[in-house]
Chains A and B, each alone.
Chain A
Amino acid sequence: MAANPAPTSAAYDVERVRRDFPILNTTVNGHPLVYLDSAASSQRPLQVLRAVEDYETHSHANVHRGVHALSQAATAAYEGARERVRRFINAGSTREIIFTRGTTEAINLVAQAWARNRLGPGDEILITALEHHANIVPWQMVCEQTGCTLKVAPINRRGELEFDAFAKLLGPRTRLVAVAHVSNALGTILPVERIIAAAHAAGALVLIDGAQAIPHARVDVRALGADFYTFSGHKLYGPTGIGVLYGREELLTAMPPWQGGGDMILTVSFEKTTYNALPWKFEAGTPNMSGAVGLAAAMDYVETLGIEAIAAHETHLLELATAALTRIPGIELIGTAAHKAAVLSFTMQGVHAHDLGTILDSQGVAVRTGHHCAMPVMTFFGVPATARASFGCYNTEGEVAALVSALGKAREVFG
């Protein structure tokens, strides 16, 4: 992200990176694919595809169950992936790494296993005005279940958190602060270090929705001091259906299980069931082993490229695209924070975002259009929808030019 000094872009061989992603050779409507939708889901490199195939071909059986060779191989692969995740975010222990289906499930787990059991009338959960629906709705559900209250810290017209207003909303009633590390709709990087310090000073716990941050920044959960940190594999060049909840061990230990079933128990009788130890206490049922293996391979891949090098490359593209789009009459950038990740949300005067999406697609350019699962953000900016271009490790300067040229096509069609 922007905070890191940029290595020279010459050192980053994007053409070599692109060779790892065969899907990028796709032709769309007669044009080479220009994939600018990594914030929705990134593509997977061969290294990830092969790791998953290798697991399925040679190592698959159920985990934690059999003494036979394949079950042991599957268990080793799955638990090895957990250790890989631990190292990637520098958690203290694999007991703090819970595999989930994704960020959404990780947040819901904390909502139901922590908040629902601890909060009541008078207690407050504090979020911000730029959250994804996945970091709004689970807390609204907890409020309905427990009688606690949801508070929302405001943002300014640039899409930045109003920190002073946020700090004023913190108080003795605040039990949990749940914020995005990076906004998916606007690209804003939130000052999570300051947020965590202020929340802890007020006696509140902090959950970070890291779905959009994990592909762009080195995340060290211990240095951050986050109580819970959540992210998804498929935004980090890994598979869908696998994500992570990091939680501090003492918190997870004190939390009751969320779902019941196999793998999360030690003993079951009709009179009494005893629960398994961390992290399995929160992983009822047969888990997504191949997904975990793919996620571990994605982390290897990202570390081989270097997350700082990826971030510097993306920041370069973001600056290039921001400058280019600013020069196009009728384009308005939505989200102009001083610190941004590689997300560019915009509208074009006289052209609805949905029409823009179709026209860009006709030129091979894939962007997200709509409300980006952040309807309150759209309401704040007074737009029904935006187009969003987002950059990943494989995007090029030429693709920024293709976006600009496709926007010219939109102007040509709509006049």
Chain B
Amino acid sequence: MDLKDLYRDVILDHNRQPRNFGHLDTPDGRADGHNPLCGDQLSVFVRLAGERLEDIRFEGKGCAISTASASLMTEAVKGKDRAAIRDLFERVHTLLTRADAPPDMTLGKLAALSGVREFPARVKCASLCWHTLNAALEHGSATISTE
């Protein structure tokens, strides 16, 4: 395993300077995610215009993988509609868990997370934000856990 595959420059950059970090005052949905194994905690806030995700913020504390993954996610999903976000979630999940997955050229910067699948203990760090976003979109408010 190569550390450079995991800690790519894009990941380190988004960890150091997470995008869309903070909260929304009057969100249409919010969910809290928790990984009790390592103590990662994050909250995702969404504002919707019909089916379209108009704005998204996240805040919390976590490792570089969970922070960067959340930051990259907010950039990727902002402005998309629910169906497109669900589709993206599926493709990120494949990227994180399937060693034999062919390169997905449509993922853009999210492809930087492909190194995570070589580190099984860290897959949950990268997927926590996606499950939390899903909960915020589906249920309006919820608390989810990786365990």
Contacts and interface: CB of A to CB of B under 8 A. Distances in A.
A355 B39 contact: no
A353 B64 CA distance: 10
A385 B7 CA distance: 20
A103 interface: no
A385 B38 contact: yes
Residue picked from A358, A359, A370, A378, most chain B C-beta under 10 Å: A358
A362 B1 contact: yes
Contact of B61 (A29, A384, A409, A415): A384
Contacts of B62: 352, 354, 384
Residue picked from B37, B61, B63, most chain A C-beta under 10 Å: B63
A354 B41 contact: no
Nearest to B61: A384
Interface in A357-415: 358-359, 362, 369-371, 378, 384-385, 409, 413-415
B39 A384 contact: yes
A196 to B, nearest CB: 34
Given A29-B1, A413-B3, A413-B7, A355 B63 contact: yes
Interface residues of B, number: 19
B interface, by DSSP: helix, strand, loop or mixed?
Answer: mixed
B65 A370 contact: no
A379 B64 CA distance: 20
Contacts of A414: 7, 12, 64
Contact of B38 (A354, A359, A415): A354
B6 A384 contact: no
Contacts of A353: 38, 63
A148 to B, nearest CB: 28
Contact of A355 (B37, B41, B64): B64
B7 to A, nearest CB: 5
B49 interface: no
Contacts of A415: 12
Contact of A369 (B1, B6, B12, B38): B38
Nearest to B41: A384
Interface in B38-97: 38-41, 61-65
A352 B63 contact: yes
A358 B6 contact: yes
Contacts of A384: 38-41, 61-62
Contact of B64 (A29, A352, A385): A352
B39 A370 contact: yes
Contacts of A369: 38
Interface stretch (B25-33, B105-113, B118-126, B133-141): B118-126
B122 A358 contact: yes
Given A370-B38, A371-B39, A355 B65 contact: yes
A384 B12 CA distance: 20
Interface in A135-191: none
B145 to A, nearest CB: 14
Nearest to A369: B38
Contacts of A370: 37-39
B39 A378 contact: yes
A298 B48 CA distance: 62
A206 B50 CA distance: 62
5 contacts: A29-B1, A352-B38, A354-B62, A355-B64, A384-B38
Given A352-B63, A353-B38, 17 more contacts: A29-B1, A352-B38, A352-B62, A353-B63, A354-B125, A355-B63, A358-B3, A358-B119, A358-B121, A362-B1, A369-B38, A370-B38, A378-B39, A384-B39, A384-B61, A384-B62, A413-B12
Interface of B: 1, 3, 6-7, 12, 37-41, 61-65, 119, 121-122, 125
Interface of A: 29, 351-355, 358-359, 362, 369-371, 378, 384-385, 409, 413-415
